[in-house]
A and B are shown apart, each in its own frame.
Chain A
Amino acid sequence: MVRFSFFVCLVFSVLLFGADVPKESQNPCQNELIIKVNQQGLKSIRFYQLPKYYWEARKCQKLQNRNNLIAQNERKQIDQDYRESYRLEGCASSCTYLAAVAVLYFYASRAMKKS
């Protein structure tokens, strides 16, 4: 009897409170991945979320009849990456010179050995 009443309570509570659970938005443009990418860039989402993002973004493009959503976000991320690393500063440049000189020295000494 106790088990039965527990089961009845469980079923009713699921029916009652389950009705209040908000349904996921059907509009692909309102998908949280697309919103996040629009606001924070493509690298704000995880790598494994990329296929889902592309899927939703494609659906959104079709819905809104605009073909540049994916390309626009891609360009935005590329621009952001470019702004962050278009020049070398501080100890990064020292490491660069060192690596370049080491490689050049190696090839030059090898060429001299051969000749």
Chain B
Amino acid sequence: MEAGILLGWYQPELTGLDTSLESSAGGSEIIRKNLLLGYSFSIPLFPSARVGYVQGGSYFSGASDTTQFSRKLIYRMFVLETYFRPLRRLELNFALAPMWNSAVIKLDTKNTKSVWDAQIGNYRIDVQAPEKMSNNYFGFASLIGIRYYIFSWFAVDIKTGFMSTNYKAANWKLDGKIISGPVLKIDEESIFLMQLIFSW
């Protein structure tokens, strides 16, 4: 069995979020947009194949005076990976991965407490009104990688490849209703993943 910590990089075009709080947020755009953080685990299927799960996510959270905005794009890969070792400590691996992804945008508005106060009296209710919209969509990824075993139980794995998704901006859900969400260009992306793998 193996478990890993994942750091990934890809280049999405999050055009639909350009008008949100995200566009005015400070900090590095690479961390906000291009970086994927996540984890993985897998079990051996037979000596040169393993099946596993890899999850990477891109996260952002920001706030203005009255609004807390956060969004996450989660990529989930159900990986079938084959591998062989041309050298004792070096492994080449090849992965095919169906994907089930999700995107979530959350908005917490603080000013609704004044509405509560107006309705039921001035109790200074410190509540937020969370609104969450989400979108789930399928995808497919194919990756080739190289892994170096520093110890027999610890390795560094670097992969490159692509992911193809069928994200549709018109498929967002808010309170059970289907609405149009931000246009994001994440249908065909090349990705790089680096993992620290612990195996036992």
Using CB atoms and an 8 Å cutoff, list the residues of chain A in contact with chain B: 42-43, 45-47, 50, 74, 77-79, 81-82, 84-89, 91-93, 95-96, 98-100, 102-103, 106-107, 110
Chain A interface, DSSP helix/strand/loop, else mixed = helix
Of residues B89, B142, B151, which shows the largest number of chain A Cβ atoms within 10 Å of its Cβ? B142
Q: How large is the interface on B (under 10, 10 to 19, 20 to 34, 35 or more residues)?
A: 20 to 34
Chain B neighbourhood of A84, CB < 8 A: 47-48
Q: Does B123 contact A (CB under 8 A)?
A: no
| Smallest CB separation, B188 vs chain A (Å) | 8
**Do B200 and A47 touch (CB < 8 A)?**
yes
Measured in the bound complex, the distance between the Cα atoms of B6 and A99 in whole Å is 20
**Do B96 and A46 touch (CB < 8 A)?**
no
Chain B neighbourhood of A96, CB < 8 A: 82, 84, 94
Pick from A46, A74, A99: contact of B82, CB under 8 Å = A99
Q: A43-B152, A47-B200, A95-B94 are in contact. Are A85 and B142 (CB under 8 A)?
A: no
Measured in the bound complex, the distance between the Cα atoms of B91 and A45 in whole Å is 23
Given contacts A88-B48, A95-B82, A106-B164, 13 further A-B contacts (CB under 8 A): A42-B153, A77-B152, A81-B85, A85-B47, A88-B82, A92-B49, A96-B82, A96-B84, A99-B95, A99-B142, A102-B162, A106-B142, A110-B188
Pick from A42, A50, A82, A98: contact of B96, CB under 8 Å = A98
Give the A-B pair count, Cβ closer than 8 A. 90
Chain A neighbourhood of B37, CB < 8 A: none
Chain B neighbourhood of A93, CB < 8 A: 82
Measured in the bound complex, the distance between the Cα atoms of B47 and A50 in whole Å is 23
Q: Does B60 contact A (CB under 8 A)?
A: no
Measured in the bound complex, the distance between the Cα atoms of B85 and A79 in whole Å is 11
**Do B142 and A103 touch (CB < 8 A)?**
yes
Using CB atoms and an 8 Å cutoff, list the residues of chain B in contact with chain A: 46-49, 80, 82-86, 88-89, 91, 94-96, 142-144, 149, 151-153, 160-162, 164, 188, 190, 198-200
Chain B interface, DSSP helix/strand/loop, else mixed = strand
**Do B48 and A92 touch (CB < 8 A)?**
yes
| Smallest CB separation, A18 vs chain B (Å) | 36
Nearest CB in chain A to that of B152: its residue: A77
Pick from B84, B96, B144, B149: contact of A78, CB under 8 Å = B149
Chain B neighbourhood of A77, CB < 8 A: 152
Pick from B80, B144, B149, B151: contact of A103, CB under 8 Å = B144
**Do B142 and A74 touch (CB < 8 A)?**
no
| Smallest CB separation, A81 vs chain B (Å) | 6
**Do A43 and B200 touch (CB < 8 A)?**
yes
Nearest CB in chain B to that of A77: its residue: B152
